[in-house]
Amino acid sequence: MLASMIRGLAILLIFQSIGEVATRFIHGLIPGPVIGMILLLVFLIVKKKIAPSISTAADGLLAHLAIFFIPAAVGVMLYVSELASAGAAWLLAILLSTAASMAITALLLKWFFKGDDSGAKKPDLSS
Amino acid sequence: MNPSTLLPVGINNLAEIWVYLSATPLFGLTLTLLAYVLADMAYQRTNRHPLANPVLIAVATIIAVLTLTRTDYKTYFQGAQFVHFLLGTATVALAIPLARLWNELRARAIPLLLAVLAGGAASVLVAVGVAKLLSAPPTIVMSLLPKSVTAPIAMGIAEQIGGSPTLAAVFAISTGIIGALIATPLLNLLGVRDWAARGFAVGVAAHGIGTARAYSVHPRAGAYASLGMGLHALLGAITLPWLAKLII
């Protein structure tokens, strides 16, 4: 289990490294990890098979995805006074725009997917 | 590192032990893991209630501890950086749920693309509209514009269009947390039951922190959320700098 997890992590780190190198060539327009994700996706689709070690490592990380945002989010403490002096405009703008974006996306898909249960019929690589 | 700082020889009271420990990376790392364990316990105990969001609770706990112990963010981050680093690795790992659903996603490519375009446009227009209506300063408006895109991309875009990268990161993180808090009640209210549509919408509007919430609710919602976040990140990086010039 742990050996498999370590092997999977090594593969993820290889793709993360390739992504970090690639992002230099496009002046950081797209972050390294995002490029790494795209390259790994292409690799898995071409191979048509997901190695159990990669699955183990990925599922382990993604089950607790929330923890990885904590260190950066604590950085908000540096801007508390700046944000307080900016008033509530930014908070209201964020609340309303996030709700609007989520609602429009969800309603459009609800309408598009009406009567389409392709997800239920085709299990393909999913479990 | 000087070996003498590694050996706590001569420490003879609690205050000195604290001074020693708080200066090592151990402090920030332990605090981050401990705060997350406690926050996740609260989240599971409340049956994953949206208001018991683990990122929100852990961050509030850590800021309280840092303030009480007069520890600055830089010292904290020396330890927390090890957790922060893995955010990149977890991002790469998002390829796996996408690969598992690949055939289904390919068949749905056009509706998904249209949905992310509409959701992304709504985010920008409402955020900029509300901020301007409340006469927020231009730096705030420009930093708000990319807030539904994942934080590292939002920072780059804000810099290009005359916003502040740090404010953009703060706004993106706030968006993620607010999105995770409102997703379940809002989508229930709208009667959207399909995990695919729910997850995708949360990923588009509230990127990574929203995706973390979606994963904790249902794996299918999580996979669609990571796709929504990823597509929004790619399209945002390309179109937002151009869109900013158009609406300002």
Residues 6+ apart with CB under 8 A from B215: A62, A63, A65, B221, B222, B225
Asked whether the beta carbons of residue A83 and residue B170 sit closer than 8 angstroms, the reply is: yes
pLDDT at B17: 76
Exposure of B179 in the CB half-sphere (CA atoms within 13 A): 37
**pLDDT above 60 for B179:** yes
Q: Do B98 and A33 touch (CB under 8 A)?
A: no
What value does the mean pLDDT take over residues B125-142? 91
pLDDT reported for residue B171: 92
C-alpha span between B219 and B228 (Å, rounded): 14
Please give, rounded to a whole number of angstroms, the shortest distance from the CA of B84 to a CA of chain A.
6
Q: What is the per-residue pLDDT across B186-201, written as a single tens digit (0 to 9) for each?
A: 999 999 999 999 999 9
Nearest CA in chain B to A107: B192
- pLDDT, tens digit, for every residue of A105-118? 999 999 999 866 55
Which of A78, A97, A107 would best serve as a mutation to test chain B binding (most B beta carbons within 10 A)? Answer: A97
Q: pLDDT of B57-66, one tens digit each?
A: 999 999 999 9
% residues pLDDT > 70 (chain B): 95
Confidence of residue B135 (pLDDT cuts 50, 70, 90): confident
Q: In this predicted structure, what is the pLDDT of residue B11?
A: 60
Q: What's the mean pLDDT in B29-53?
A: 95
What's the confidence (pLDDT) of residue B230? 86
Is pLDDT at B77 greater than 80 in this prediction? yes
pLDDT band for B9, please (50, 70, 90 cuts).
Answer: low
**Residue pLDDT, tens place only, A63-121:** 898 999 899 889 889 888 878 877 788 999 999 999 999 999 999 999 999 866 554 44
DSSP A40-108: HHHHHHHHT---HHHHHHHHHHHHTGGGGGHHHHHGGGGGHHHHHHT-SHHHHHHHHHHHHHHHHHHHH
CB contact under 8 A, B127 and A102: no
For tokens 């695919």, name the residue. B196
Query: pLDDT, tens digit, for every residue of A7-56?
Result: 999 999 999 999 999 989 987 777 888 889 999 999 999 999 999 999 99
* pLDDT above 60: residue B111: yes
Average pLDDT value for residue range B220-247: 87
Chain B interface disruption, residue of A67, A76, A77, A107, most B CBs within 10 A: A67
pLDDT band at B92 (very low <50, low <70, confident <90, very high): very high
| Residues of chain A found within 8 Å of residue B25, distances taken between Cβ atoms | none
Q: How many CB pairs under 8 A join A and B?
A: 336
